Structure 1
Amino acid sequence: MNNKLLPSLKKLFAVKQPNEEEIKRLGHLFNLLMVISVGIVVTLVIAFVLMKSIGLGSPFITAIATVFPGIFIPLSVFCMILSRRKHLKLGINLYVWCNFIVIGLAAYTFDGLTSPAWSLYIWTITIAGTLLAPVYALGMTGGVLVYFLILTILSIKGYYSPPLTFGVRGREYVEVVNLMTMLTSTVGLLTYLNMRSLHQTLTILHDEITEHRRAEDALRASENKYRTLVETSPNGITLTSPEGILLFCNQQAARLYGYESPAIMQGLRADQLIVPEERDLVVQNNQRLLEEGNIKNTEYSMLRQDGSSFPAEVNASIIRDNEGKPVSIITITQDITERKQAREEEKRLIKLKEEFISSVSHDLRSPLFSLMGYLDLLRKGKVVVARTQKEFLTRAAEDGNRLLDMVNELLDISRLEAGHLTLNWEKVDLGLVIENVIKSFTEQANAWQIPLVTTSTVPSLIAEVDPARIRRVLSNLVENALKFSKAGESISVTGELDHGNICIRVSDHGCGISLEDCGKIFDKFYQVDKNKKINASGTGLGLYISRQLIEAHGGTISVNSQEGVGSTFTVTIPVERRK
């Protein structure tokens, strides 16, 4: 008990070193006390002056009594000056101890043990305890008691009697004045302290309210920001309970699943949004989610309200409370239909490239072996008949031309993709170009028993083009028509003028092209079903290059086909070169 009491008492009565803020507060309080002290002094001076007029004291006693409080007016002013000049502690000590001594002299001089001056010690001790420390008030109280005891003993022994006296009526008058002054001053001081405390409390409360409002505004701004992020997210965001009940979803989630609004989705079970075939996988992933806290980049087939499905990538995380218990699951769903289509397209292109490489290798190897065979026979002198030699040389030349065409296709692809294709513009008669193309394929068509027919609605088809490139395009179209035609199925090539354009149509009566293939036939590396080809194979680049060349002329190329009926390719070229 004692071990705890002593430190508590030491802490209570210890003289603390005030900080800067505390010094400022004490300075304001000290200045207030000085003003109150001046008021007390003025009140006492007036009271002593009135004593004479009401016959309660002689002029001499009144004059002497007035001197004592009069001392404190300049003392209070001087101490306030010290406080203003940041000598606060010096001013307090000077005022308190001067007060202590002068009150002691006043009590000794006037009426001794019954002097009204004793009550003034209350004000002095209050100032000391308030501005300095409780230990000062305790020490002064003890000093006053010792002083009182000394005077009592001296009075009993006959060594002391008061030099002056107010008399019974005068002493009562002074005591009432002192009591009223002390009471008024104390009430004034307490009122000030309470009002200051109230002001500080209200200030603190105002600051707290302001801070609370700022926090609310910041929280509201943060909520609005994240709400905006959620509502404008391109991905579907949902919040579900640990039991799998949908608690919240954004507008994009409602769009993904085909619902009119997010409110309609609330209350659904999460597994209702996944196709039945994958719900067992969801159970497994949910177990992993509970163990690991999140799952990333998991793909599901999601189920729309109308029963259709779409591929989605799902990322989910568990939200836990302060105790670590799961309270909800946030899920971000992204529609990856386009991504999967891109993957499939990439796979298709890779497959087409592989087929292209295989096809090109075969197509290059076949004429090359044939060419080398003819030349080897001629070189070794195994063919001596002149007509046979001529035939072999002709076939070798055809194989060489086939190789040259395939190499040119590859070179054109390289130039087109690099943007380095250059056209050599000339004004030529496209009717003659058509005739030359037909002549170049006549022998091959006759060998395959496929009639080639050409017609023109005008005497000439003059246009500014690159004749070699146009011949290349038409040759490719006629060659394709031959590949997909059987013996006896005719091929026609027609040309006509149409509102400043020249239209060339290559038509066959072959196997035709499906609607799906028509939309892809001009893509790079794309080939229709090789089983439909009757007479030859290809690289899958001819029509792609043809479209690029015709578009470079400012024209168009299109196809109209019906399976089992035939196909018509239409090339439209401006008569005048477009700058």
Structure 2
Amino acid sequence: MEKFRNFFKSFQFKLIAIYVLLLLIATQIIGATFMTTLESQTIQNYNDYLEDRASLLANNAAEILTEPRSDEDGDVQLQIRQEMNDQVNLLFSDINEFVEVVDNNYTIITSHDSDLVGRLNNNIQIYRAMAGYEQAPETFQNPDTGDRTRVIIEKIEGNNDEIIGIAHIRASLEGTYEEVTEISSIFTWSAVIALIITAIIGILLSRTITRPVLDMQKQASRMSEGDFSRQVRVYGSDEIGKLATSFNTLTLSLKEANATTEGERRKLSSVLSHMTDGVIATDELGRIILLNRQAEILLSMSSEEAMGQSLPEILKLSEHLTPSKLYDYSESMILDFSDGDGSYLLEANFSVIRHEDGPITGLITVLHDVTEQEKIAQERREFVANVSHELRTPLTTLKSYMEALEDGALHDQELAPRFLGVAQTETERMIRLVNDLLQLSKMDRDDVRLNKHHYNLIAWLHEVLDRFEMMVKDKNIEFVRKLPTYPVRIEIDRDKMTQVIDNIISNAIKYSPDGGTITVGTDLHEDGATIFVKDEGMGIPRENQHKIFQRFYRVDKARARNLGGTGLGLAIAKEMVEAHGGTIGVSSELRQGTMITIQLPYTSIYEESRWEE
């Protein structure tokens, strides 16, 4: 079974298959053309034959109907019918043909069906022809049997071109089609026999080609394993024989080249494997032939997995960057291998390998991990851009109002105070921004020192909420407290955590609607206490929630600036909470409000000694 399977995969089978397929295609084209032409020509000839006889019948019938007759010669109608029958039997003797002749009174003069003679013909086509309408020959197909019939309506004209009768001919075309089918069957069987003979001859002839090719294939397999000792047999002096001779010469040349290449490869492998940078070597087609240890670490891939794969595929390059295009790529390239676990960037430099004044033989790629450098550079760019943007707005406003004051608004008793108030507001905004930036700068340098003491969490939250309730009396905002009645001991830097809670509650007040409710409460669990602040504002879209603790990020930028925000409050809050060993998060539904949660570790719930209230 395996032998037959190998035969169908062999070059011999392909050669035979090509030979037979070419003959089959040629036979099909010739047969299709021949049968189409034969069928068309046969049917056309038969139709022309019917039309010629119909025309001849109409002419003869016209002579019979217009010939002068007298009653002395006997029954005139009987004579006409007898002569007409003779003409019909003479011209249409095939059993598949039906003919009838109708006079100008629509009476059937003669017909293959003798029972119809003397009766009226109600065929609409005959009525139309008698009225002078041209009736072209038509072919009809019986919807039940599929039989095709040719119908010819031929007018019989008198001496003055008046219509004196109609010749109605119906002839079955099935006999003609059957003849064409028989010829097609003969042609098909002839083609099948020719293909079988051709396949047998092809098998015999192909062996003279495939035998030496199989020998060379076996030798090529040995050479791929490093065995260059065997020579292939030369069967003759034809092209195949010359190929075998050349193959033997090639074997000797490869044996010498392989020894030289192996020595050079070992040297190159030793150098690359001890380099501290990731190095990838490819062949001229861009397939990887070498990865040093550092490259395996950077790509998280072993040499065995990478061998033979395409360089663009391994480096996840875009489709248009083929290996040939990388030969001319002289600049460094940043490769992004980031995933859900974090960002991961590599810098790649490409160098072409080629013989002196010769073709390109490969490519060397050197990889460096630049994740941290790029992250720092990106944060620096974003920070500078954000600070510039945040300072530009108040500075522009100050400049505009100062110019207005300089131009005369200073002496306007109504405008001057308002303009100075705006200038003062923008100045305070810049001061807040600078103070926030200084505080974040200290946090980035780990220069923040926490002055931690034990406090009653519940009493501290009540103090904060009492202060805010006094501040929002005129804003129609209600505070709901969900705090336990018993004390909760927690170790925090009170000033810094107060700044965090103030920032979160201030944001809740800013974005709460008129008459809204802000809920502040705590949940206690084994690891610590959770503080939550929930408002009834517009909420934050789900795709933006993970960004709100980034510096300068605002969901609604225009409204946040109008309300005096710097975009740094939540970033500072996050840094402060994490400095206390806690976490901060957000939960929000669009148009259903936002809840900020802070989780802090605590010491004991019921121990009340040595607290600082």
TM over 0.5, yes or no?
Answer: no
Q: For the superposition of Structure 1 and Structure 2, which TM-score range results when normalised by the shorter chain?
A: 0.3 to 0.5
* TM-score, reference length from structure 1: 0.43
**Which is richer in helix?**
1
- Please give the TM-score of this superposition, normalised by the length of structure 2: 0.41
